[in-house]
Amino acid sequence: MDSKRRGFLKSAAMAAAGSLVVGGKLPSAVRADQGVGELPVLDGLTWNKAPCRFCGTGCHVQVGVESGRVVAIAGDKAADVNKGLLCVKGYHVGGILYGKDRLTKPLLRKEGKLVEIEWDEAIEIIAKRIFESPNTFAFYGSGQWTIPEGYAAQKFMKGGLGNNHIDPNARLCMASAVTGFLATYGVDEPAGCYQDLDECDVLITWGNNPAEMHPVLFSRVTDRRSRGETVRIIDISTRRTRTSDAATDYLEMQPHGDVAISLGIMHLLIQNGSYDKSFVEKHCNFRGAEAETPTLQGEAISEEEFRNRIAKYTPEYVAELSGVPADKIRMLGELFGNRDIRITSLWCMGMNQHTMGTAINSLVHGVHLLSGHFGRPGDAPTSLTGQPSACGTVREVGTLAHALPGGRVVAKPEHRQQCEEFWNLKSGSINEVPGYHTVKMFEQFTKPTAEGGDITTLFVQVTNPGQTLPNLNALFNSKQGLENKFLIVSEVYPTATTQLADLILPAALWVEKNGMFGNSERRTQQWFKMVEPPGEARDDCWMTIAIAHKLFEMGHEGMKDKNGEFIFSIKDADGREIPIWEFEHYYDTNVDKHLFEEYRLFSTMKHKNLAPYDEYVKARGLRWPVVQQEDGSWRETRFRFSEFDDPFVTKGQEFEFYHSSSNDGRAQIWFHEYAPPPEVPDEDYPMWLCTGRVLEHWHTGTLTRRLSPLNRAMPTAYVEMNSEDAKAANIRQGERVIIESRRGTCELPVWIDGRGRPPRGTVFVPFFDETKLINTCTLEAHDPFSKQPDYKKCAVRVLKKSEAKVPS
Amino acid sequence: MTFSSEVVEHAATVELLRSIPELDIGESSGCRLAIVIDTDSQRRDREIWTAVQQLPGVVELAVAMVAFDDDGQQNDSQADC
């Protein structure tokens, strides 16, 4: 970097830092065009907005581009989500594009070796395999798909192929949140927004560590404290974390203790008569699971029946089940019984990766509904997401095996018909049978065809299942040696998944393409392509369209609409088709805009209304439902179901759950009986294993492991151990040990009383490190409704290397 | 940088900051102080970050902007196709 430019950027950095300092309290509302003018101006340097590529918080960054390369990142002061702040990962996000080992050419495995091939050949190979056996093809994506990418994949599979075997990795991270919302409100996604963090008196983190996983959101609360406000943070967790360090109260629970605790709070609200009788009478029903074949609908139960069922969950019984002392359960009961304070609950993987995931999500919603801590700013049950578009792409576009866009499902004939009409497809094009969920999809892919494994070709985009699936030996590694199973992986870097890939497609990443994300607070965000991808890396959305067009050329009927036109046809102003399936023409038009405008027609069907694409170009995201006003402007919604803010609530109702599963405008307060985890420590495997993430790395580390500052700060996975457990086993700090479960082993260095501090009998291992795959040990047991596996609890033993029978 | 109290009450720490050659001190307001770190290596950057974090009275560091060299990104991954 030349000295003039270096000096300039230095002064720009000082200006940016100075504005944060002098600004004092950050603005509570910002205009879309605010802040940009404060960024440095330099010949050849341009700035543009984009949401961060990492977690589901949805921070906006300003991306500085010079000579076709991202050279600077600044927090976007115009963004309401982060108000100019970024976390340690966010301010390094530009570097994810420039790892030395970017994939730049399609690679085909021939006789065990990867050889470079041309794109045309790669697309033809995929199309032929699908054409020959369309029903044994599956598509696996993620919450990192942009909204248009996920929508195109969804339309290609369910509309074009009539094949519902499409599922995202979000199945592994927030499917239980979806089923919890559906069971309670009849419609998915949080009612509140991040403003709840600015207004709550009490923040309860349920098995959640936002201090590391959502640091910008957590800083909204700690920043309030630094300004002298009192915010009580109650951390309910199975191990001490950085969130516990900031908490007023730390309640250490046993695995599955959250279920008992929520039942205990409801018991106290009922017993003490401190529940919100008026709110419950006007706006809630009681619900229980059916005795035979439980469903998400459940069955209606009376308040009396609810009282009877909850009666046994006394503080003492809950203490026995959860490990949290009875007086702490009473403390929680008293807090929820106090309507003068405002309480926000936050959760993420702890409650979602849970074999009772749907139940615990529903129960925590129930605690808030029963107590009336709902629908006022600061009173909210709120789930967070780990991926940038788990909400936007997975939950809203509906890229799950049972779903269609707009909250439609494949199992309902009227939903299929609506969708076919929107897509101008022949009646009957969409298959009525839900496809395979993630665990089932990989079981069917890794099982020999002769034994019933009926998925033979699997296309993976924007995710790394070779590292994230539970029980990796069974669900992924067993693909090795199965010659008729063909794995296609679109990726930006080599990963654990590409190691077994038969065909690797180099993908464009983040600002190398246009995109749209949807964050955890229903905020839809947009950005434009800013730099060219390296080599021959290309957009994932283009790959899907190119494969679809190849099938169209081959005569696949599903790739034609009712008029015989290509299902992704885009025409110019003169009515001529733009050949977007040819990459050199892909950016002749804004494909994202065309797809989004088509997709947003679905969004009104569940009151998740989206604005036109151009409105998102102007804004730092808008929270749906976004409704047009009389003056033509578009208004976002911060608090759903509350009359003061939600335009769909009937005037005079105060609250209205207008997608109620009981069709009466009411939410459901569920009762679920506590059940122990499916695998518990025993004599052979005496320790609990919990897995998770760390501040410095994002998920499997594919991106953050390429960022030297982050990788140096956290270069390796480790096993956190309690010092007493380590002492009893004669294990020293830093010693390498073997973690062994009934499914596999993993060798790791020991960190005693490190960043996280597990209680006796528990170990914790992060999953970001591709050289230490802890998911060889985890369990594929999953929630019966959401099908989401439980990565937070299984039984293991810790062996000194000298004691291990199985070499790692 | 955010201090536990007004910046003026942490004169000794501010003097320590001034002794770091790669660090420039900017405006202050209340308990907040703007600084810029400009180093030739990411290792040094990390060292300064850690040192500043541990200075007396410092409760938080937040980043407003980062710029980096073309050759600043290394691949440390051990994954292989």
| Helix, strand, coil fractions of chain A, as percent rounded to 5 | 35, 20, 45
CA distance A291 to chain B (A): 49
Q: In chain B, what is the greatest distance between 2 CA atoms, to the nearest angstrom? A: 55
Taking a C-beta distance cutoff of 8 angstroms, is the pair A459, A139 a contact?
yes
Q: Where are the alpha helices (DSSP H) in A587-707?
A: 591-599, 613-618
> Which chain B residue shows the shortest CA-CA distance from A705?
B77
Instruction: Write the residue in A10, A22, A707 that is nearest to B27 by C-beta.
Output: A22
Task: Determine the Cα–Cα distance for residues A802 and A547; give it in Å rounded to an integer.
Answer: 52
SS3 annotation, A263-279: HHHHHHHHHCCCCCHHH
Asked if the model's pLDDT at residue B70 lies above 70, the reply is: no
Q: Does A110 touch chain B (CB under 8 A)?
A: no
DSSP A531: S
A9, A21, A76, best to mutate vs chain B, most B CBs in 10 Å: A21
Give the closest-approach CA distance of A365 to chain B in angstroms: 34
Would you call A226 helix, strand, or coil by DSSP? helix
8 A C-beta contact, residue A573 and residue A143: no
Report DSSP letters for A655-667, one per residue.
B--TT-TTSSS-E
Nearest CB to A95 within list B27, B30, B73: B73
| Cα torsion A262, A267, A268, A273: sign | positive
For residue A486, give the H/E element and its range. strand A486-491
* Model ipTM value: 0.87
**pLDDT value, residue B68:** 65
Q: Return the DSSP state at A514.
A: -
Q: Of chain B residues 52-81, which have a CB less than 8 A from chain A?
A: 59-60, 62-70, 72-81
Which residues sit opposite A458 in a β-bridge? Answer: A138, A487
What are the φ/ψ torsions at residue A704 (nearest 5 degrees)?
A: -70, -20
What DSSP string runs through chain B? -EESS-GGGGHHHHHHHHT-TTEEEEEEETTEEEEEE--SSHHHHHHHHHHHHTSTTEEE--BSEEE--TT----------
Is the CB of residue A773 less than 8 Å from the CB of residue A716? no
pLDDT at A42: 72
Residue of B nearest to A708 (CA): B74
Element housing A248 (H / E):
none
Contact at 8 Å (CB) between A150 and A143?
no
What lies within 8 Å, CB to CB, of A105 at 6+ separation is: A116, A117, A506, A535, A536
> Longest Cα pair distance anywhere in chain A, in angstroms?
78
Q: Do B81 and A501 touch (CB under 8 A)?
A: yes
Angstrom CA distances, A188 to A205, A395, A537, stand at 21, 8, 35
Distance in angstroms (rounded) separating the CA atoms of residues A487 and A474? 16
Which element (helix H / strand E) includes A516? strand A515-518
If pLDDT is split at 50, 70 and 90, which confidence band does B78 have?
Answer: very low
Is the Cβ of B15 closer than 8 Å to some Cβ of chain A?
no
DSSP letter string, A420-434: HHHTTPPTT-S-SS-
Residue A236 CA to residue A247 CA, distance in Å, equals: 10
Question: Do A619 and A609 form a contact (C-beta atoms < 8 A)?
Answer: no
Fold of A687-800: Barwin-like endoglucanases (2.40.40)
Residues in chain B: 81
A3-98 placed in CATH 2.20.25.90: yes
CB distance B81–A494 less than 8 Å?
A: yes
Here the tokens at position A31 are: 């205009």
Using CB atoms and an 8 Å cut-off, which of residues 234-253 of chain A contact chain B? none
Closest residue in A to B32 (Cα) is: A21
Dist CA A515 CA A60 (whole Å) = 13
Q: Is A41 on the interface with B (CB under 8 A)?
A: no
Choose among A18, A73, A706: nearest Cβ to B34: A18
pLDDT score, position B71: 40
Q: Please, are residues A360 and A348 in contact by the beta-carbon 8 Å criterion?
A: no
8 Å CB contact of A771 and B45: no
Closest CA–CA distance from residue B21 to any residue of chain A (Å): 14
**Residue A520, SS3 per DSSP:** coil
How many Å apart are CA A188 and CA A197, to the nearest integer?
A: 20
Residue A10 is nearest to which of B38, B60, B63, comparing CB atoms?
A: B38
Query: B81 versus A148: which is more confidently predicted?
Result: A148
The pLDDT, as a whole number, for residue B73 is 42
Residue A566: helix, strand or coil by DSSP?
strand
Q: What is the pLDDT of residue A664?
A: 97
Which of B49, B58, B68, B78 is the best mutation test for A, with the most CBs of A within 10 A? B68
The mean pLDDT of chain A is 94
Give the strands of the sheet with A667-671, arranged side by side.
A299-301, A284-288, A667-671
State the pLDDT confidence band at B61, using cuts at 50, 70 and 90. Answer: confident
First vs last Cα of chain A: how many Å apart?
45
* pLDDT score for A803: 75
B77:A494 CB<8 A = yes
Kindly write down the DSSP assignment for every residue of A696-743, as one continuous string. S--TTSTTGGG-HHHHHHS-S--EEE-HHHHHHTT--TT-EEEEE-SS
Confirm if A334 and A238 have CB atoms less than 8 A apart.
Answer: no
Tokens for A320?
């026995």
Flag if A707 and B73 touch (Cβ within 8 Å).
Answer: yes
Size of interface A-B (CB pairs under 8 A): 140
Q: Which of A697, A708, A770 to mutate to test the interface with B (most CBs of B within 10 A)?
A: A708
Q: Please answer whether residues A801 and A738 qualify as being in contact, where contact means their C-beta atoms are separated by less than 8 angstroms.
A: yes
Give the model's pLDDT for residue A274.
Answer: 98
Query: B45 to chain A nearest CA, in Å?
Result: 9
Taking the C-alpha atoms of residue A19 and residue A115, their distance in angstroms, rounded to an integer, is 52
Task: Write the pLDDT tens digit of every residue in A277-306.
Answer: 999 999 999 999 998 899 999 999 999 999
Q: Are A225 and A705 in contact (CB under 8 A)?
A: no
- Residue A302 CB neighbours (<10 A): 10
CB-based contact (8 Å) between B2 and chain A? yes
Pairing of strands A503-506, A486-491: parallel
pLDDT for the residue B13 = 92
In DSSP terms, A317 is beta-bridged to none
Question: Letter for the amino acid at A348?
Answer: C
Q: Are A434 and A401 in contact (CB under 8 A)?
A: yes
Q: Per-10-residue mean pLDDT for chain A, 808 residues long?
A: 66 70 41 49 86 97 94 91 90 93 97 96 98 98 98 98 97 96 96 97 97 93 88 97 95 98 98 98 97 93 97 98 98 98 97 97 98 98 96 96 96 97 97 98 97 98 98 96 96 98 98 98 98 98 98 98 98 96 98 98 96 97 97 97 98 97 97 96 98 94 91 91 96 96 97 91 97 97 96 97 63
**Is there a contact between B79 and A21 if contact means CB atoms under 8 Å apart?**
no
- Per-residue pLDDT, A26: 33
Contacts of A38 in chain B (CB under 8 A): none
Query: For B64, which residue in chain A has the nearest alpha carbon?
Result: A17
- Cβ neighbour number for residue A264 with a 10 Å cutoff: 30
Q: Is A10 on the interface with B (CB under 8 A)?
A: yes
Q: How confident is the model at residue B31 (pLDDT cuts 50, 70, 90)?
A: confident
- Fold type of domain A133-164+389-519+523-602: Rossmann fold (3.40.50)
**What's the pLDDT tens digit per position in A72-131?**
999 998 999 998 888 889 989 999 999 999 999 999 999 999 999 999 999 999 999 999
- pLDDT attached to residue A91: 85
Residues 6+ apart with CB under 8 A from A805: none
Report residue B80's pLDDT band, with 50, 70 and 90 as the boundaries.
Answer: very low
Residue carrying structure tokens 């907005």: A49
CATH class of A182-383: alpha beta
Which member of B36, B67, B73 has the closest CB to residue A17?
B36
Q: What pLDDT, on a 0 to 100 scale, did the predictor assign at position A100?
A: 94
Domain edges within chain A: 3-98, 133-164+389-519+523-602, 182-383, 687-800
Show residues of chain B in contact with A504, CB under 8 Å. Answer: 81
**Bridge partners for A716 per DSSP:** none
The first and second tokens of residue B39, run together, are: 């180093």
Residue A347 bridge partners (DSSP): A206, A383
